[in-house]
């Protein structure tokens, strides 16, 4: 699981993991491992932004969307809440 961690100056965006709170056999661990194995094969080119705050990495967003689909979560407002609360 990932949770956004904001810099006080909001100049950069970091990722804080919550692995200690997730059981070893939870489906989210499978999703993370699967995406980390498959994502390099997709050869997705992430453009670098020159202005503004950095966005979340594409692989992290893909993990979130795959996990949401497995859990039958289709509403974007629920997915947005998951991101804000760190799942």
pLDDT score recorded for residue 34:
93
Domain ranges for the chain: 2-44+53-85
DSSP 8-state secondary structure symbol assigned to residue 72: T
First to last CA, the chain: 7
pLDDT in tens, 5-53: 555 665 555 666 667 777 888 888 899 899 999 998 988 887 777 777 7
Pick the residue with more confidence: 44 or 66? 66
Average pLDDT for 63-85: 87
């Amino acid at each position: 699981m990932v949770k956004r961690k904001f810099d006080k100056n909001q100049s950069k965006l970091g990722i804080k993991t919550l692995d200690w709170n997730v059981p070893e056999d939870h489906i989210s661990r499978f999703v993370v491992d699967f995406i980390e194995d498959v994502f390099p094969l997709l050869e997705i080119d992430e453009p670098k932004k020159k202005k503004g705050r950095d966005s979340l990495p594409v692989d992290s967003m893909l993990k979130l969307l795959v996990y949401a689909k497995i859990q039958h979560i289709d509403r974007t407002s629920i997915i947005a809440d998951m991101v804000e609360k760190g799942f």
